[in-house]
Amino acid sequence: MTVDVVGVPIQNVTMEEAVSDCSAFLDSKDRRIVVTPNAEILQLCVEDAAVKDIICQADYIVPDGIGVVHGAKILGTPVKQKVAGCDLAWNLLGEAEKKGKRVFLLGAKPGVADTAAQKMKEQYPDLIIAGVQDGYFKQDAPVIETINAAQTDLLFVCLGVPKQEQWMVAHRQELNVSLMMGLGGSLDVFAGTVKRAPKIFIKLGLEWLYRLIKEPWRFKRMMKLPVFFVSVFKYKKQRRKAK
Ligand code: UDP
């Protein structure tokens, strides 16, 4: 079941349900795409129809962030919970390990994906890392060839938004994978190069504030959050008029 948040169909699922759905995607070579937009990205969809079109080509869109959860609630169609992309990906690795599926890590600065792979193996010793590739490559074809040659089932694409979504949609037919997921800075989080907010911030719905303190250059991007709520109220009004 999805709910419509500013024109984007967002999955109304718990984390457990999202993991189970994504795990089922691993069972067929259907080249499914999962994206994990937060409120800033949904605001980008409002402002840029091309980005919205790309995001909406994904098969499964989860609400990454408390802003999206609040947005859905304001629109009268609340979702069960926030499903952070990096948590979903991390939990899914457990399923990949159990099923013997092969994981490829694409993105982040050189060396980061290798460290992320090591951390994954610490938690999931039987996980098969099919390969890694940093996100600063010049040509797509050799990267796609490497991913296919590695017999990848699950591909994490961490090139930032909207580059990763554009990349996945553009190369979907060439990539012989079961599932690809756009996960932004998740490899940095897994590798430990970027720290996740302390639990108390997450519990209070203030993860964004922690990020702002730690990475103040994000200020301009984060200003999209209040703008997103304006868009949500506008969307609500428009929908009411249309009824
Ligand atoms: N990145 C990359 N290739 C690029 C641009 C960015 O691999 O050409 C990586 C960058 O190193 C970082 C991630 O993409 O690991 C983007 O992280 P960010 O936290 O900005 O993600 P977002 O907020 O866009 O989801």
Question: Which residues, 6 or more positions from 116, have their beta carbon under 8 angstroms from its beta carbon?
Answer: 105, 108, 132, 187, 190, 191
Please give the backbone phi and psi of residue 12, each rounded to the nearest 5 degrees, phi first.
-100, 85
Instruction: Give the pLDDT of residue 243.
Output: 77
**Ligand 1 site-directed mutation target among 132, 188, 208, most atoms within 8 Å of CB:** 188
Query: Taking a C-beta distance cutoff of 8 angstroms, is the pair 206, 212 a contact?
Result: no
Q: Residue by residue, what is the 3-state secondary structure of 156-193?
A: EEECCCCHHHHHHHHHHHHCCCCEEEECCCHHHHHHCC
Instruction: Give the pLDDT of residue 217.
Output: 85
Q: Is the CB of 65 under 6 A from ligand 1?
A: no
Weakly modelled stretches of the chain, pLDDT under 70: none
**Ligand 1 site-directed mutation target among 87, 156, 159, most atoms within 8 Å of CB:** 159
Half-sphere exposure (Cβ direction) of 83: Cα atoms closer than 13 Å: 28
Query: Separation of 76 CA from ligand 1 center, angstroms?
Result: 33
Instruction: Give the pLDDT of residue 116.
Output: 98
Q: What is the pLDDT of residues 174-226, one digit of tens each?
A: 999 999 999 999 999 999 988 888 989 988 888 888 888 888 888 887 888 99
CA-closest residue to ligand 1 atom 5: 159
The domains of the chain are located at 2-237
Q: Report the amino acid identity of residue 146.
A: T
- Give pTM, 2 decimals: 0.94
Instruction: Give the pLDDT of residue 196.
Output: 82
Instruction: Give the pLDDT of residue 207.
Output: 85
Q: Which numbered atom of ligand 1 lies nearest the CA of 40?
A: 23
Can you tell me whether residue 67 is helix, strand or coil? helix
